Amino acid sequence: MRSLAISSEHLPIILVVNAIKGVILNYSPDFVQIHKRYIVNINKIKKIQESVCILDDSLGDNRELRISKNYRQSFMAAFYSM
């Protein structure tokens, strides 16, 4: 069973249903997938350092997420088009 982690205001939320991924990604162009397990809000990104996405400090301890090779190109395109 595949799961998906989404970073909310305070903690990541683990989702079990793949269909929810499509709903979130289609909800707003602000949400992009950076890893098979992570979708982030582009507006919450503080910086990108190599293959790590560093999120806003308001998100607490869960603010550094790895960017997968598979999603890097589409993520970078979305990030720089904002």
Reading the chain (82 residues) residue by residue, the pLDDT tens digits are: 555 566 566 555 555 556 677 878 888 888 999 998 888 889 888 889 989 998 887 766 668 899 999 999 999 998 888 7
Q: What is the reported pTM?
A: 0.70
Residues 73-81: contacts with CB under 8 Å, at least 24 apart: 74/32, 74/33, 75/32, 75/33, 75/34, 76/48, 78/29, 78/32, 78/42, 79/32, 79/42, 79/45, 79/48
Q: What pLDDT sits at residue 15?
A: 54
SS3 content of the chain, % helix, strand, coil (to 5): 35, 35, 30
- Label the pairing between strands 64-66 and 52-55: antiparallel
Minimal CA–CA distance to 35: which of 2, 11, 4, 81?
A: 4
